[in-house]
Structure 1
Amino acid sequence: MKYTKLLFSVLLVTILVVATAGCITSPEDTAEQTNKNAGVTETSATSSTPTWTPREWTAYDSTEKLDSHLYIGSIDIDHTSTISMTIKILDPRVDTISYIGIIPASELTTWKQSKEIAEYKYLNKHIRSNTFTATLEPGSYYFVIGLADPVQETLASGTEVIKARSYLAVPLDLSDTLYVMNLEAYVDIREDLDIDIVFTTPEEYKIFTEGGTAKAIEYYKKAKSGYYPLADYLEPGLYYFILDNGYSLLTKKTVDYRITSDVIYPATVHITIKVKEKS
């Protein structure tokens, strides 16, 4: 009986030891399990790609006086963009502007030297007030604008009875121009006679009035009815057109005259340039 109780006690202790040993975890076991768990832990972090939003902006907005060829820029385009250029002519004397264009920044020096051989990305000639559009690839650009186109003007006209030993002096004030071209006079002498035509400067006109020998830009001696070129090109300033009957002793002359020219005015324009990037 004692032997049986002893055997039962030993068996019970053995079972308790084994059970207790199954519940104990060593530090090494804990670290290993932690590492295993760390290897399968889910994460919510994701990589993101920055997004690009197309922009739209006004690159230029100003009123300019076109007294020389104008360039604006450089304007940098980072993405393919639609360009709109609005030109409003504010000068009532001007009908059209000779050209507007867009050139790469690398062409600016060439454009300054010779407008005809520059590489244009966009070019439009003889433009009226309007909005113009173009598409540009990324790059750096200049916007270029020409002078006003010539306007044919009648600078002076009238009918005058010019007495013997007298003259008619018509002042031509061209000070409000950039320059004039193809200055021409038409005279019609009703008596079918002749008259001297003199075209000169104020300084030489003063000498003429004092009886001296004046120098003329153009001079036609005893001109009959017809057309007479006075100058191919003239800078701004004051000039005099003279019908001289001073050599006639007795005969007066009735003269219809008209002076015309192609005039380039310093046009005033408003320029707006807008850029809209394409998505």
Structure 2
Amino acid sequence: MKLEEVFEQTHRLPTIPKVVQELIDSFNDDSIDIGRIAQKISLDQVITAKVLRLANSVHFGATRRIGTVNEAMVVLGFNTVRTLVIASGITGAFIATPGFDRKHFWHKSLTVSSDARWLATQARVSPEMAFTCGILHNIGEMLVHVVSPETATQIEKHHADPAKSGDSAPEFDFVDASVELVRRWNFPALIVDALRHQDDPSGQVPPDALSAILNLAIRLQQQAHDQDSLAAALTETSDDLLAQAGLDREKLTEKLPELLDLRGGLDELVG
């Protein structure tokens, strides 16, 4: 199957709530009416409930209890609320697929999101952008599993052992599918480019911190599950990657307990 054929399966492609699409579009629109958007979010009870639970979590550091979307806008700011609504809409957009562990998939993606947000805060890069990249970085895997489970299996086998693929090597991978879906959803170029270069941020021209932060967040999720393994993963991280991300190895190592405290607190997004 070719990548364009995936997107021809329109009846199987995920659909997101209109308000979520408006918020995605708002990345490129400085004239967004925040009050109108807050009202629209409030009309979606499922998204509102998820957003308020997360707004009151340790992740987003609210200084007081938040009870409405309007309060969340005031306390956390529009950018953070936008991130939470987009994450809520995307995690709820995909249908269950036999043989695919949806909750495990989202748990991994949300760990990457959490780590990316924390790393971005240390690097003084937009934490909302980094969080969104984490949610989206492997969205193509779920998409291909929904549209063509056989192709998904082929891609997985190729990654496990490329030498055995031979002439049956897939024409695209999950990153390609992620990039194309995010582009079609009209996310800003900064996010699309970070996803495109998540496996090789040094190949991005000009180099950007967001792709390097995403790459490191993926590494940490894959390799590290306690403070010792996190510290080891940072020790093995190249100086060039840390420099591109704008991060200091020693300072990160000192603050690793913060990262562990934040992990696992986002699973309420998975509905």
TM-score between the two structures when normalised by the length of structure 1: 0.20
Which of the two has greater strand per residue? 1
Greater CA radius of gyration, 1 or 2?
Answer: 1
Which of the two has greater helix per residue? 2
